[in-house]
Structure 1
Amino acid sequence: MRFVSWLAVNAVALAVVLWLIPGIYLTGPSHGTAELRHKLVPELVVAIILGVVSKLAKPVLTILSLPLIVLTLGLFLLVVNAAMLGLTAWISGYTSLGFHVTGFWPAVWGGLIFAIAGSLTRHLIEDDRR
């Protein structure tokens, strides 16, 4: 059940990012049609990749950049979140998922929106459990 809620939070947050940030988009498989299942499955797979990348690489990158995080009073965490989106796009480039991040600033804004949307979604899911 924890995996399902974790996946739901990541998928909702990613959907909000895809909807709001023009430089981050998901084209889906190149051989598929525009049906819902041809967009939903790639988004879920990208959400899983982004979640795994965030669980594995983000703590290491955060520790390595700790002096910059302290120096900027935490604002450098936006760059760390942007790096997670960029790394996810790079990993997804080896598949036919079609997840693209076009540059640094879309990645920064996408990382910020992903963190906010993920926190709000997580809060709503935890309120429903009680």
Structure 2
Amino acid sequence: MKIILKVLLTAVAVVLLSKLLSGVSVDGYTTAIIVAAVLGLLNIFVKPLLVLFTLPATILTLGLFLFVINACIILLADKLVDGFAVSSFWTALLFSILLTILQSIFYSVLGEEKTD
């Protein structure tokens, strides 16, 4: 149940950011839900491979290269989902940073408790 709620909260964040940023467009709420699901799947399957392959660059930049990887994930979602468009790499970078901030705010509302 929490996974569905997280996807819906991410979809709300995608819609909000598409209204805030001029370089990001989403056709509708259904497209935003699809984008949220695709981003989740890409973060599960593709992102770990990208992190592994770019580990030296990530270490050299003290982790800042992870922002580039997140922007690449956003651009990949742009190519995979019709109705979702990001105009440039820099817009994708800003979108990924703002999306992360919004997700952390929204997920804190869920009140997930960590167990040891």
Report the TM-score range of the alignment, normalised by the length of the smaller protein.
0.7 to 0.9
Question: Is residue 22 of structure 1 aligned with residue 22 of structure 2?
Answer: yes
Structure scoring higher RCO (CA < 8 A, sep ≥ 6) equals: 1
Shift of 1:116: 1.1
Give 2:37's aligned residue: 48
What SS does the aligned partner of 1:25 have?
strand
| Runs ≥4 residues deviating over 6 A | none
Give 1:62's aligned residue: 51
**Number of aligned pairs?**
113
Question: Is residue 98 of structure 1 aligned with residue 98 of structure 2?
Answer: no
Q: Sequence identity of aligned pairs in percent?
A: 30
Q: Structure 1 unaligned runs (5+)? A: 29-38
* Aligned-partner Cα distance in 1 for 2:58–2:16: 26
Question: Is residue 86 of structure 1 aligned with residue 75 of structure 2?
Answer: yes
Q: Structure 2 unaligned runs (5+)? A: none
The one-letter code of the counterpart of 2:37 is I
RMSD of the TM alignment (CA)?
Answer: 1.7
- Check whether the contact 1:16–1:117 (CA below 8 A) recurs between aligned residues: no
- Which 10-residue stretch deviates more, 14-23 or 76-85? 14-23
- Check whether the contact 2:11–2:29 (CA below 8 A) recurs between aligned residues: no
Shift of 1:82: 0.3
